[in-house]
Amino acid sequence: RNEDSSSSGHCLVLSRLANAVTPLWRLPYQEQLQVKYESQRKILQTLASRLEELGIDAQKPGGLCCPLQPVVPSPIINSYRNKSTFSVNRGPDGNPKTVGLYVGTGRERNIVCVKANRVENIPSKHKQVAQCYEEFISHSPLDSCILFHEGGHWRELVVRTTRCGHTMAIITFHPQQLGQEALATQKALLKEFFTSGPGAACALTSLYFQESTMTRCSHEQAPYQLLHGAPHIFEELLGLRFRISPDAFFQVNTAGAEVLYQAVGELCQAAGDTVLLDICCGTGTIGLSLAHQVSKVIGVEVVEKAVEDAEWNAAFNGISNCEFHSGKAEAVLPQLLASWEDARPLVAVVNPSRAGLHHRVVRAIRNCRAIRRLLYISCKPEGEAMRNFLELCCPPDPRKKLAGEPFAPVLAIPFDMFPHTVHCELVLLFTR
C-alpha cells in the first residue's frame, strides 16, 4: 500500500507540474488556438477601451481596436523549446538537490522542485542534461544553494539546443566563501564529468560556468567561463546561419520564429529604399532575415555579446547593409533619431522583453516623423506593453514630451510560439 501511495503521489506532482508549466496540454491543439484567440481578443478590447478613455475613437467591430486575425499555429507542437532553465531545490521527496521546475508559490510556502520528465514542450535532450546535472551534484560534497543567505553553491542549469545538433549547458554556481583553488577544483570536476564521465552521453557542444551572487547576472557582471567545447552554438533560420552566445536572446521556438519573421517581412511593406530599425534586435535575426528587402538595417541591443553575434552573423552570411549599436535602447535610440535626416522611408520593428519598452524609447519613436510604420512584437501584450501602446497612440502630451503625431493600431496577428501554454506572441501593426 505504501508503494502504491508513493507512486500515486509521484504521478500527482508530475501532473501538477504539467498543469503549471503547460496548462493547455490536455486540450486538442485546435482548441488551444481558440483559447489563445479569445485571450488576444480581450486584450484588443481592453486597448480599445483605454484608447476611448483618452478621447480616441478606436472601437472597431467586436469592440476591438483593430482587426484580429486567427492565431498562426506553430509548425512544431511538442518539444519545441530550444532553451530551458532548470532550478535546483527540494523535490517532493525532500531531496535538496533535485533539478527541475517549480510547483507552488513562495506566498503559500509550498514550493517544490519537480523533474520535467512529463513536460510536453521540453525536448528530451534538455531533460537528459538536467538528469546528468542532478547526478553530478548528488555526489558533490557541496550543498545546493536554495537561499543565498543560508549558503550552498549549486544553482540553475540552462540548456540551449539548435536544429544543427548543438547543445550548450550553462551552470550557475554561488561561490559563497570558496577560494580560487576550490573553485578551480569544482570546475575541473564538472568538465571531467561531462567529457569523460556519465555526462559525456549528453555530447555537449559547449559547457559554461558562471559564478553568480545574484538571482540573474549578465556576462558583464559575472563572466561566463567556458569549461569545455566551442564558445558558441549555431542555428539555421530562413537560409541564414546564426551564432548564439550563452546570454544572447533567440526566439525559443525556432520553427515558429521562421513563420513569425516571414510575416513581419510582409507587414513591413519595405521597398528597396527602406531603412529598417530593429530595436531589441538580439543576435540580429529579424533584421538580417529582412536585409535583402531593404536598403539598410540598423539594430539596437543591450546585450553586448549579442551585438557581437549579430555582427558576426551579418559578416558570415555576406550581408553588408547592416549596422548594430550596443547599449540600452533608451540611451542609444534618442541620440540616433534626434538627428535623423535620411530621406529614405523608415520602418521600425520592436521586440522587447516582457518589461516592454522604456518610455524614452517610445518617446523617441513617437517624435521621429520619419517613422510612419511600426511593428510591435510582444510576448506579453497585456502587461507593460499596454502602456507602450497607449503612449504610441495618445494625443500629443507635452508633460510626457510626446509631441509627434500619434500612431493608430491597424492590424493584430497572434502567433503561437508557445504551444500547450497560455502565452502567445502578438504582432501589432501601427501606422500614422
**Is the CB of residue 171 less than 8 Å from the CB of residue 209?**
yes
Q: What are the cell numbers at 215?
A: 538571482
| DSSP codes joined into one string, 171-209 | EEE--TT--HHHHHHHHHHHHHHHHTSGGGGG--SEEEE
> What are 337's strand-pairing partners?
none
The Cα–Cα gap between 280 and 259 comes to: 19
Q: What are the cell numbers at 311?
A: 555582427
Classified as helix, coil or strand, 60 is coil
Which of 155, 153, 6, 22 is CA-nearest to residue 94?
A: 6
Asked whether residue 251 is marked as a ligand-binding residue, the answer is yes
The Cα–Cα gap between 183 and 128 comes to: 25
The Cα–Cα gap between 378 and 413 comes to: 11
Q: In whole angstroms, how far apart are CA 103 and each of 241, 419, 422?
A: 37, 20, 17
Burial of 41 (0-12, 13-18, 19+ CB in 10 A): middle
Neighbours of 217 (CB within 10 A): 16
- From 202, 379, 393, 424, active-site residue: 379
Classified as helix, coil or strand, 262 is helix
Asked whether residue 131 is marked as a ligand-binding residue, the answer is no
| DSSP codes joined into one string, 288-344 | HHHGGGSSEEEEEES-HHHHHHHHHHHHHTT--SEEEEES-HHHHHHHHHHT----S
Which of 371, 387, 292, 394 is CA-nearest to residue 58?
A: 394
Phi, psi angles (nearest 5°) of residue 348: -110, 140
Asked whether residue 301 is marked as a ligand-binding residue, the answer is yes
Phi, psi angles (nearest 5°) of residue 86: -110, 140
Strand-strand pairing, 98-103 and 112-114: antiparallel
The Cα–Cα gap between 190 and 226 comes to: 11
The residue to which cell 521527496 is assigned: 93
**Is the CB of residue 245 less than 8 Å from the CB of residue 305?**
yes
Classified as helix, coil or strand, 40 is helix
Query: Is 202 designated active site?
Result: no
Q: Angle 384-393/29-53 helices, nearest 10 degrees?
A: 50
Q: Which residues are annotated as a binding site?
A: 251, 301, 351
Q: Which residues are annotated as a binding site for S-adenosyl-L-methionine?
A: 251, 301, 351
* Active site members: 379
